[in-house]
Structure 1
Amino acid sequence: MNLITCNIRDFGAAGDAVTKDTKSIQDAIDACSEQGGGTVIVPQGDYLTGTIMLKQNVDLHLEAMARIISSMEEHDFDPDPHIGRRGLICARYANNISVTGPGTIDGQGPRFLEEDDGQGDHVLLPLQEFRPKLIDLEGCYDVLFRDVTLYRASSWCLHMTGCERVNVQGIKILGQLRGPNNDGIDPDSCRDVHISDCHIEAGDDCIVLKTTKHGAARYGPCENITVTNCTLISRSCALKIGTETFADIRNVVFQNCVIRNSNRGMGVWSRNGGTIENILFSNIIVETRLFSDEFEQTRKRKWWGKGEPIFVSAERRREAEAGTPGIIRNIRFDHILAEGENAVYLEGSHESIIEGIAIRNMKLTMKQRSPYPGGVFDTNPTARGVFPHPIPGVFCRYGKNISLHGVEIEWSGPRNVHWKQAIYGEHLENLSLIQFRGGPAQPDGTAIELKHVNHLAVEQSKAPPGTNTFMSLEDVDPRHMFVVGNDFAQAETAIRFADASNPEFFAAANRMPN
């Protein structure tokens, strides 16, 4: 069977950015698919259009200087008959489809929002409820996106639900950094997805794996996903799992990525049941900061996140919403260079203990880069939401089998008044601190503060100069402590128990304060 080539100009497309070219483009796609498949050429020009449906065995190829432009009129977009979703380029149960070439797909996103006056970094509010997705696929197999530029989506940029064997290679997503719901790539209940060599700028999450209620009910888990060699900028979270977790998410690798000028770096949220497990983050450089005043009350939409390089959270949604948060287990972070204004945040809840979280070979530099005061945590979407809290380098609560190995905390430049310990932890079981380096943020403070911990191992760690107490312990059973090979010489006090007791615990080969 010979594959055919169809040029949309031959089907009447004008490419003048004024004429609606929807029918011409769709006719070319339909003709190509009906004849067995091939390539639909979009040549140089500006093609204004509403919904385009990709069909079986068709490559939509955008040549250099070709631009598909989203209509602004809602009646130009076909809603999904089941769930009412609207998108510019869509496909439903169409296999062997692709969008390729050096051209651009333009969502005209800024025209859907209030004007950006260049003042501040708060969220720009939508002018209307209608904001179509740029690309929306469902139930497709053997999908390829390569080389194209996805520009200024008004909502989610590339949403794939229930798709399998997907490759996204070398694309650019240039979103609206102040645009709400401006996600980059959203694999939703997908399998065998490979995302590589992409540059993504997004007002919301850059790459986020989900199992939405619709996706979970129809397609089940999201699994077998790799993300590699990407550069990312986000006002929410650059590499994220959740918050929608109505089915399991598992077997995911994020590696060799650079995250800069972002609100959050790497995140794992469980809010709707389901199990998130077997997740690897490795060889990642991340730079985070605060955006918009966290105490601002004048706007309806706010950024989620407070400058955390790593954020792991298992907590139920707001009290009005039913359901338990689900399970997070077996998450690994390895070879991480991070700079941020807030803690590495690891927290389960009394009804969902996070388990098997390991951070190896990480240097975190706490550095203030924004004009905002900080001193808050943000657990949205939960009943607690945003709340004030002292800020450590690493915060960990409600966890089991937590390991920090080769972790270094550095405080750089002027110290934020809310910065406190290098590590703060409570309600933990089986906590291991190996080859840890880090002291308190404030002079003569405590480096590590732990409460309600069962089974604690501290090995080959070192107290830096300026440390008053290296480790402060409250409700930590000394019978289950293992303290070996540490250098406490620069601290005033090596270990202090909150009840002022001096119990025996297993200790060997430690260098104690003079």
Structure 2
Amino acid sequence: MTAYHTSSAAYPVRRYGASGDGVTPDTAAIQQAIDRCHADGGGRVILDRGTFLSGTLYLKSNVFLEIEPAATLLASGNIDDYPDDTYYNRYRCETALNRCFIFAADAENIGLVGYGEINGNNEKFAAGLPGGDEPRPMLIRLLRCRNVRLENLRLHQAASWTVAFLDCDRLWCRGLDIFNDRHYNGDGLDFDNCSEVFVTDCSIRGTDDNLCLQNSRPDKPVRNVQISNCHFSSLCAAIRIGYRSAGEISNVVIANCTFENVWREGIKIECSEGGVIRDITAGNLTMRNVTRPLFLLLNNSRVMQAYRPPGGAIPAIGRLEDLKFNNILIHDDDEMLAEHRRFGGELMGSPRFNGIRADAAAEHPIDGLAVSNLSYRVIGGVKSTDLPKEYPSVLDQRDSYPPDVPVVENNYAPAWSRAAAVDLRNVRHLSLDQVQIQLRYPDERPPVILENCQLLRHDIRLPD
């Protein structure tokens, strides 16, 4: 690969011309440019034109890798081109996702920028199944990095997750087009134990959670996150906060976003590992065809045993508190009469699954939920004969279950709602102000159920 180098004392640049042919491996040449740029004190490594085929690349401090509009950085289709020294996937049951394409550890002032494309070449890898063991690299994994910018790129067709930020701080993700429609585990942006996170002007479409905020380390809080002016579409959830929630997640703002064709949850907040999730604000949102627009759950799930060290104890139930949702428009069209399945098999949503939901154990309620100026035109159309008779309660998983009570093993159960539109149970300090519900089709369930809730304000407008 032909290269030329221009530099100044303040701003060295390695630039590659039009020789990227998508066939000849460019790994060594690109990595050499990154290393030399880092050794010179930092700067930019630019991929100018063409398709550059590469295995794992290692970013270094003070280096920006810039992919120009006519350039594509293409991941190798050979798993042997991805060494096993790129940390690992923290989900213990998904070791097949341990390797990755672009990696950095303990770096600062780094970036992936430009108007070009980074393509994961996922058609070269097995599509995978949840818990499958065929290795598939993530596109990008950053560990303990600081001052990171991902800007204006197309991040397409990752073989598994697109971007995983682990224990990182001061992150800017702006103008990204993330698209992954072929494989399981098609996450967009995943942040685990990260703070000062700014995500704006992004389009994320995928087969799993579009954006995740998680905490797997009680000693490092997740704080000060802003998500704005983004569009989400997913076979699973759009924004997920928690599930991995061993510590604190707080001070999160979601604003001015659109959601379309999301077959699980629009905003899903799950405090399931004994931590605390609080001070979450979401407003000025528009949702079309979102199965569960808002889903809130406080529990201590047994299934999280899969993600803790072997023998790890089930934690006590944590705290989910001080949540505010304002100015939200939700509309179902006839698409929501159908069942939605991922890759033709796994059921993701159906009419009986729809609705806004909040739930907790009676002795550990959600504390502080305010919903205002929300309009929900929900599909309805469910007959009572289509539903099971028993709707299980959230129980403390540390306790032994009575023989007549089913054990809820994951946070997707039960796969139906007692109410057509809004089902809230075990919530203290609940305020509902100017909440308007309309049913598209007659439904034999009540439109709204409020059970064991302490109401501060109740203003729900229902159809005649």
1:328-339, aligned counterparts within 5 Å? Answer: 328-339=320-331
| Contact 1:112 1:126 (8 Å CA) reproduced | no
Aligned-pair distance for 1:387? 4.3
Corresponding residue for residue 271 of structure 1: 272
Corresponding residue for residue 55 of structure 1: 60
**TM-aligned CA distance change 1:383 to 1:251, over 3 Å:** closer
| Contact 1:112 1:127 (8 Å CA) reproduced | no
Pair 1:132-2:137 in alignment: yes
1:162 is matched by which residue type in structure 2? D
**TM-aligned CA distance change 1:67 to 1:384, over 3 Å:** closer
After TM superposition, the score normalised by the length of structure 2 is 0.80
Corresponding residue for residue 423 of structure 2: 395
Cα shift readout 1:47-77 (whole Å, capped 9, x = no counterpart): 1111101111111100112111112222211
| Contact 2:56 2:100 (8 Å CA) reproduced | yes
| Contact 2:199 2:226 (8 Å CA) reproduced | yes
**TM-aligned CA distance change 1:320 to 1:24, over 3 Å:** closer
Corresponding residue for residue 347 of structure 2: none
Pair 1:147-2:152 in alignment: yes
**Distance in 1 (alpha carbons) for counterparts of 2:82 and 2:247:** 30
| Contact 1:8 1:24 (8 Å CA) reproduced | no
Give the alignment partner of residue 4 of structure 1, picking from 4, 12, 26.
12
Give the alignment partner of residue 19 of structure 1, picking from 24, 41, 44.
24
Corresponding residue for residue 116 of structure 2: 103
2:69 is matched by which residue type in structure 1? A
**Distance in 2 (alpha carbons) for counterparts of 1:8 and 1:55:** 18
Cα shift readout 1:320-363 (whole Å, capped 9, x = no counterpart): 83223421100100000012451100111235311101100000
Cα shift readout 1:467-492 (whole Å, capped 9, x = no counterpart): xxxxxxxxxxxxxxxxxxxxxxxxxx
For the pair shown, the structure with the greater C-alpha radius of gyration is 1
**Distance in 2 (alpha carbons) for counterparts of 1:45 and 1:384:** 44
Aligned-pair distance for 1:124? 7.0
Pair 1:77-2:82 in alignment: yes
Corresponding residue for residue 287 of structure 2: 286
**Distance in 2 (alpha carbons) for counterparts of 1:253 and 1:147:** 22
**TM-aligned CA distance change 1:168 to 1:389, over 3 Å:** closer
Structure 1 gaps, min length 5: 115-122, 290-306, 440-463, 465-514
Corresponding residue for residue 353 of structure 1: 365
Give the secondary structure class of the aligned counterpart of 2:29. helix
Give the secondary structure class of the aligned counterpart of 2:302. coil
**TM-aligned CA distance change 1:125 to 1:252, over 3 Å:** closer
**Distance in 2 (alpha carbons) for counterparts of 1:352 and 1:157:** 35
Aligned-pair distance for 1:314? 1.1
Cα shift readout 1:296-323 (whole Å, capped 9, x = no counterpart): xxxxxxxxxxx11110011221368322
Pair 1:385-2:398 in alignment: no
Give the secondary structure class of the aligned counterpart of 2:208. coil
**Distance in 1 (alpha carbons) for counterparts of 2:412 and 2:148:** 40
**Distance in 2 (alpha carbons) for counterparts of 1:153 and 1:319:** 27
| Contact 2:253 2:281 (8 Å CA) reproduced | yes
Give the alignment partner of residue 193 of structure 1, picking from 194, 197, 218.
197
Corresponding residue for residue 326 of structure 1: 318
**Distance in 2 (alpha carbons) for counterparts of 1:167 and 1:81:** 22
**Distance in 2 (alpha carbons) for counterparts of 1:41 and 1:255:** 34
| Contact 2:107 2:146 (8 Å CA) reproduced | yes
Give the secondary structure class of the aligned counterpart of 1:241. strand
Corresponding residue for residue 343 of structure 2: none
| Contact 2:86 2:100 (8 Å CA) reproduced | no
Higher relative contact order (CA 8 A, sep 6+): 2
Corresponding residue for residue 162 of structure 1: 167
| Contact 1:194 1:225 (8 Å CA) reproduced | yes
1:438-453, aligned counterparts within 5 Å? Answer: 438-439=462-463
Aligned-pair distance for 1:422? 2.3
Give the secondary structure class of the aligned counterpart of 2:52. strand
Give the alignment partner of residue 423 of structure 1, picking from 421, 436, 448.
448
| Contact 2:77 2:122 (8 Å CA) reproduced | no
Aligned-pair distance for 1:192? 0.6
1:437 is matched by which residue type in structure 2? R
Task: Return 338-347 or 192-201, whichever deviates more.
Answer: 338-347
| Contact 2:130 2:185 (8 Å CA) reproduced | no
Give the secondary structure class of the aligned counterpart of 1:64. strand
| Contact 2:111 2:148 (8 Å CA) reproduced | yes
**Distance in 2 (alpha carbons) for counterparts of 1:327 and 1:179:** 34
**Distance in 2 (alpha carbons) for counterparts of 1:43 and 1:409:** 53
| Contact 1:232 1:238 (8 Å CA) reproduced | yes
Aligned-pair distance for 1:46? 1.2
Pair 1:437-2:445 in alignment: no
Aligned-pair distance for 1:146? 0.9
Aligned-pair distance for 1:368? 5.8
How well do the aligned residues superpose, as a CA RMSD in angstroms? 2.6
Give the secondary structure class of the aligned counterpart of 1:31. helix
Aligned-pair distance for 1:386? 3.3
Task: Return 352-361 or 76-85, whichever deviates more.
Answer: 76-85
Corresponding residue for residue 312 of structure 1: 296
Q: How many residues align?
A: 401
1:48 is matched by which residue type in structure 2? L
